[in-house]
Amino acid sequence: MSRFIELPLEGCFLIDFDPNKDDRGIFFEWYKSSWEFKAQPFVPGQANVSVSYQNTIRGLHYGTYPDPQKKLITVLDGEIYDVLLDVRKESKTFGKSINVKMSSSVPQGIFIPDGIAHGFSVPIGSATLCYLVSNEYDPFHEQSINPLDTSLGINWQIGGSPLLTNRDRDAPSFKSVFE
């Protein structure tokens, strides 16, 4: 049975999957519709796959109402440094971030609720992630915070120049959005 560990940002969960292993390989349940995350129903509306190369940073992205996305992510191949930033003004952890190192060698997932900006970096090699998201992508309601904003104090754990989209590199700072 999978184990759900609540992270320091309310509503965020690390999921330790319970893999069945035998001579053929491993099998685990990645998503079950009966799972609830502290009364946060999660029904996938879209599935995404991303492949990212060493020194890539993706994020920090979050949705605005009425169409934010809850996410359930897992690493299918490689290793990432996952970052969650609370952008819920009413939250006691508003402006705080946490990070989780994830690897395909340890079957885990992260559930990310509404109001959490999400990003990740690939410190070595490449990484393939699979996302289940609660609704279809709507670029009008997606927002970004600059992942290189020094006021956030995020160490992305990469050794070279970061590979970012222009959109992420040009995204506003946290303070310019929320103050």
Closest by CA position to 51, among listed 138, 130, 165, 105: 130
Evaluated on CA atoms 86, 87, 88, 90, the torsion sign reads positive
The catalytic position among 62, 81, 118, 131 is 131
The catalytic position among 61, 62, 81, 118 is 61
Spell out where the chain has E strands: 3-6, 13-16, 20-22, 25-27, 46-53, 57-63, 71-77, 79-86, 97-103, 108-112, 116-121, 126-133, 142-144
Closest by CA position to 8, among listed 129, 79, 74, 100: 100
Q: Is 118 a catalytic residue?
A: no
Q: What φ, ψ does residue 157 adopt, rounded to 5°?
A: 65, 30
Closest by CA position to 59, among listed 152, 178, 135: 152
Q: Is 131 a catalytic residue?
A: yes
Residues assigned a catalytic role: 61, 131
